[in-house]
Amino acid sequence: PRVIYITRHGESEDNSAGRIGGDTGLSPNGERYAKALARFIDRRRLEFTAEVDEQNHRLEMFMASGTSSGNNSEPESVSSHSSNQSIDYSSLRLKVKPDFEIWTSMLKRTMETVEHFDPQKYRIKNIRSLNEIYAGRCEGMTYEEIATQFPEEFEARQLDKFYYRYPGIGGESYADVVLRLQQVIVELERIRHSVLLVTHRAMARTLLSYFMDIPTTHMPDMELPLGYVYSCEPRPFGNFLRVWRYNT
């Protein structure tokens, strides 16, 4: 099946200074992650494409011969079905497309994280709705600075992180972010190919909680450190989650 990969951008200059929001580029650590991510996804893509090709080939062999793709000799009753050679079986090819898209936010740190992907192999889209939760007046501050300068805000957020909205123009809550991501999720559900989402912590929490059915009460506190790739693969029981960690 197609796979949805979710990761945060590589470490940014603001991350290493403990500042939230902003729009800084990658730190040297972040740059290393960007290179490793391209190598990792390249390998996954190749394996996936090879699997789809092999399966399509088997299906074609199977339908063309009217029997199994193995070397077993055909039982009489089965071989008689192979007489109708005029049917075009190509429509039976797997519906899964081996295409692969990469979606980033419109902030520098995610765009720089995908700079090592070959644009001939991957369609790359920059989507504003994948931008990090906007912290309004608290943009660019550390959590310690927020706690000292805006203690009531800091406490209100601790009490109800999902509905708490940052003060100032454009300030957002997790509830706002869920709404903002709806269109992205509709599109992800519609398309049939694999996608790597290179985004931010609040976005990764929201996307993973949607795909893995994690309640909104838990979602804003999910530990999602930098340097991890999560993948969701559809299965009969729901999405199957895998987690990879980048070893520095």
Residues serving a catalytic function are: 8-9, 15, 109, 132, 200
Provide the mask over 135-154, with x wherever binding to ligand G3H is found by CB under 6 A and - wherever it is not. x-------------------
- Write down the least CB distance from residue 1 to ligand G3H, Å: 30
Ramachandran bin of 227, using left for φ above 0, alpha for ψ from -120 to 50, beta for the remaining angles = left
Asked whether position 195 contacts ligand G3H by CB under 6 A, the answer is no
Q: Report the residue from 3, 6, 20, 41 that binds ligand G3H according to the rule CB under 6 A.
A: 20
- Measure the CA–CA gap between 24 and 85, rounded to whole angstroms: 61
Contact between 201 and ligand G3H per CB under 6 A:
yes
Stretch in the footprint of ligand G3H (CB under 6 A) among 82-90, 128-136, 176-184, 232-240: 128-136
Question: CB-wise, 7 or 194, nearer to ligand G3H?
Answer: 7
**How many CB atoms sit inside 10 A of residue 188's CB?**
19
Query: Comparing C-alpha atoms, which of 178, 143, 184, 139 is closest to residue 162?
Result: 178
Asked if residue 114 binds ligand G3H (CB under 6 A), the reply is no
Told to check if 202 binds ligand G3H by CB under 6 A, we report yes
Site residues (vs ligand G3H, CB under 6 A): 20-21, 132-133, 135, 200-202, 220
